[in-house]
Homo-oligomer: A and B are copies of this chain.
Amino acid sequence: MRTIDWDDEKGVVELIDQTLLPADYKIVVCARVDELIDAIKRLKVRGAPALGVAGAFGVVLACKNVRNETELKAEIEKLKKARPTAINLSYGVNRALQAAMRGRTVQEMKSYALDEAKRLAEEDVAVNKKIGEYGSELLDDGDVVLTHCNAGRLACVDWGTALGVIRTAIEKGKRIEVIAGETRPLNQGSRLTVWELLQDKIPVTLITDSMGAAVMREGRVNKVLVGADRVVKEGVFNKIGTYMHAVVSKAHEIPFYVAAPLSSFDTNRSYKDVEIEERSPEELIFCGEKQIAPLDVKVYNPAFDFTPFELIEAVITEKGVIHPTNFLSKKV
């Protein structure tokens, strides 16, 4: 199934529980908006584009339990705050809300929101295919591409942004291998990227995040390709560790690419004005049941970091490829 979808018969959101992969494949059913908020907070659904669609379906679920526009807007504020850094969640919520506002009754609002959410889901797949088209031109036959976190099918409705580029390149007959960083602390790379690439029989090698520089020095990688949670005036927010890969790829003269739908763009905003979500210390103190640090240690656990455009060779969108250094005037 798709990463996230609407079940017309039951009137519920269904999504693949990404916290259980790769050991278990289970579908989570969200009949109410608070169930969906919980799923977002626990990263059962994650990835900027998937969060956009989750936000839009969340508006539909919210319509179930409210009597009027005021109550709806109150529910929606909670939904938007489930994860603050990715712009797409707000984007999806706003699109469905705007559509809902055309309704005169709550039932009509729900119906309009649902149409819009479904449209957004279809658009997401179409956008990823376009990103794949443009991005695949940047990859050459025989490339070994390092990626970080999961900007794949599981981060979207289907196909993927960064991994979508790789899928399209392979579809066009190019031989591409992937090196996946495990992406600590939640291992979206080892759990999700590796899982979905193996499903598609795309060759992939798993490394720790700290090996990125070493594999570049050893000549094992010739491109880096990641997704984005938010593109701002001066650069890109993405999963923590992205900036490290960008710095080391620059030092090794390896091109660093970002694949991002225009819905991730928030380019009127400065990086200084973006709140970076800080997550729980437990993510670094435990791994499953195993305790891997003293319980009383102080932990710094930002979920994202910022990569300035001067480290980015190109941003791949559904409208084409942008080379940000071409129009960069000053160092951030």
Which residues of A approach B to under 8 Å, CB–CB?
A: 22-23, 179, 181-185, 187, 190-191, 194-195, 198, 203-215, 217, 220, 240-241, 243-244, 247-248, 250-251, 281, 284-285, 287-294, 296-302, 305-306
Closest to A283 in B: B208
Verify A205–B240 contact, CB threshold 8 A: no
Write out the residue numbers on chain B whose beta carbons fall within 8 Å of the beta carbon of A209.
184, 208-210
Further contacts, 6 of them, CB under 8 A, given A208-B209, A220-B300: A22-B294, A204-B297, A211-B240, A214-B305, A217-B305, A287-B290
Verify A290–B293 contact, CB threshold 8 A: no
In the assembly, what is the distance between CA of A209 and CA of B208, in Å? 9
Verify A293–B244 contact, CB threshold 8 A: no
Verify B299–A292 contact, CB threshold 8 A: no
Of the residues B190, B210, B220, B300, contact of A210 by C-beta under 8 Å:
B210
Verify B211–A241 contact, CB threshold 8 A: yes
Verify B210–A284 contact, CB threshold 8 A: no
Verify A191–B22 contact, CB threshold 8 A: no
Interface of A is mostly: mixed
Verify B182–A182 contact, CB threshold 8 A: no
Nearest CB in chain B: distance from A147 CB, A: 13
Verify B247–A213 contact, CB threshold 8 A: yes
Verify A210–B292 contact, CB threshold 8 A: no
Of the residues B22, B240, B297, B300, contact of A291 by C-beta under 8 Å:
B22
Verify B248–A244 contact, CB threshold 8 A: yes
CB contact under 8 A between A208 and B185, given known A287-B292, A291-B23: yes
The 6 closest A-B pairs by CB, nearest first: A288-B290, A210-B241, A287-B287, A213-B244, A190-B293, A209-B210
Write out the residue numbers on chain B whose beta carbons fall within 8 Å of the beta carbon of A194.
293-294, 297
User: What are 29 contact pairs spanning A and B, CB under 8 A?
Assistant: A23-B291, A179-B300, A184-B208, A184-B209, A187-B287, A190-B285, A191-B292, A194-B294, A195-B294, A205-B297, A205-B299, A205-B300, A206-B284, A208-B209, A208-B241, A208-B284, A208-B301, A210-B241, A211-B240, A211-B244, A212-B244, A214-B243, A214-B244, A214-B302, A244-B244, A288-B289, A288-B290, A289-B289, A289-B290
